[in-house]
Amino acid sequence: MNCRHCGAPLRHTFLDLGFAPPSNAYLKADDLNRPETYFPLKIRVCDRCWLVQTEDYASADELFSPDYAYFSSTSSGWLAHAQQYAQNMTQRLGLGAESFVIEVASNDGYLLKNFVAAGIPCLGIEPTASTAAAAEAIGVPVLREFFGEALGRKLAGEGRQADLIAGNNVYAHVPDINDFTHGLAAALKPEGTITLEFPHLLRLIENKQFDTVYHEHFSYLSIHAVRRIFEAVGLRIYDIEELPTHGGSVRVYGCHAGAAIKQQPGVERILHLEVEGGLLDIATYQAFQARADRVKDDLLRFLLEQKRLGKTVAAYGAAAKGNTLLNYAGVKPDLLPFVCDAAAAKQGKYLPGSHIPILAPQALTGRCPDYVLILPWNIAAEVREQNKHLAEQGVRFVVAVPELRLL
């Protein structure tokens, strides 16, 4: 396989998690009697441009089905994050009734509804029918397509270039990152701004967040790699913010290379941190497998010990990262009998691979397990606060990443 950005041969493996089904391919009861599709889950790193990427096995239409079950509005913390972003960008860029905002992968309208409420014209681009319908139901206009260069040029030809293009947790999901970035450049006004939020590869490596690796993530991004990809299509990074979301993310601000927007000091600071963190050293990537295996082994040891002691362990959060962890560890319902999730679209279904049933959060109160394993560790504080009544009854909360610990 060659690098998806620069075309160099990929000679180095970053992480090999064996075989797994797509992490968001939740199963209905009838599906349990049918064969389940598994793909290799192996991550490579390019030693020329430093883009970390999955091997080519699964295509986008196999991963993002019409009934795609991830709805951004499920998390109250994420809704607050989106609202704050909309307020900040409106003020920073002076957006108003004459402006135009595009969000790529707009999901259920969790972000753009803030611009709609402010009277700022906007457009969501979202290929999954289930989430697009939810956005339209709250007044967010949606174009149901995958985004790329062709669509970017079409929007430009229609006079619909944007003052702001937002992409939250989508850049890592696109199989053709060059085509997608060409589309961003085409759809952006000459002095417009692009913001892309994505989990930072530096934090993934530092905190052993291997469970954020799954097929829907085609890329794992450093600023060094993104800067090269931007420059190849005539864009440049002019600012970067570090964010606590998803265990450590960055928000990259981009513009056309010839725009009058000045570069901020944060760009060079983050680039320096990446060099210090070993992101331009192949040894850093080669050492990661053993660190991930220790996380997996510790979780299995904990679950087996609780079973031996006659204790019960349930899980909270039917998140994609949890599916990666459970499938790599080989956890089945005998060790983890059920998982609870607030998303109604997931309740009554089963986790891919492990076939653990997904129940409503109220099941935790009814069954009162000894331990609750919070799979989306990035919102552990929010989950614990929402379920503090369980802690008062003696239930212990636990996370597995970056190491196994009781909360």
CATH number at residue 383: 3.40.50.720
Q: Domain boundary at 285, 316, 333, which?
A: 285
Distance CA 239, CA 236 (A): 9
Give pLDDT tens digits for 235-260: 999 999 999 887 899 999 999 999 99
Q: Domain boundary at 285, 312, 336, which?
A: 285
Give pLDDT tens digits for 91-106: 999 999 999 999 999 9
Q: What's the confidence (pLDDT) of residue 139?
A: 97
Give pLDDT tens digits for 111-146: 999 999 999 999 999 998 889 999 999 999 999 999
Q: What's the confidence (pLDDT) of residue 246?
A: 77
* CATH number of the CATH domain containing 145: 3.40.50.150
167-184 average pLDDT score: 95
Q: Supply the angle between the helices 223-232 and 177-187 in degrees, to the nearest 10.
A: 60
pLDDT of 71 over the 90 cut: no
Q: What's the confidence (pLDDT) of residue 72?
A: 74
9 within some domain: no
Q: What's the confidence (pLDDT) of residue 345?
A: 87
64-70 average pLDDT score: 53
| Edge-to-edge order in the sheet of strand 371-374 | 358-359, 339-340, 313-316, 371-374, 396-399, 405-406
Q: Domain boundary at 285, 313, 344, which?
A: 285
Q: What's the confidence (pLDDT) of residue 374?
A: 98
359-376 average pLDDT score: 95
pLDDT of 68 over the 80 cut: no
Q: What's the confidence (pLDDT) of residue 75?
A: 72
Q: What's the confidence (pLDDT) of residue 63?
A: 52
103 within some domain: yes
57 within some domain: no
85-94 average pLDDT score: 98
320-335 average pLDDT score: 96
Confidence category of residue 65, pLDDT binned at 50, 70, 90: low
3-class secondary structure, 146: coil
Q: What's the confidence (pLDDT) of residue 179?
A: 98
281 within some domain: yes
Expressed as residue numbers, the domain containing 362 is: 296-406
Q: What's the confidence (pLDDT) of residue 183?
A: 98
Distance CA 407, CA 381 (A): 9
Q: What's the confidence (pLDDT) of residue 76?
A: 79
Looking at the structure, tell me whether residues 131 and 280 fall in a common domain: yes
Structure token pair of residue 168:
């939250």
Looking at the structure, tell me whether residues 142 and 225 fall in a common domain: yes
Whole-model pTM over 0.85: yes
pLDDT of 377 over the 70 cut: yes
CB 16 within 8 A of CB 340: no
CB 108 within 8 A of CB 73: yes
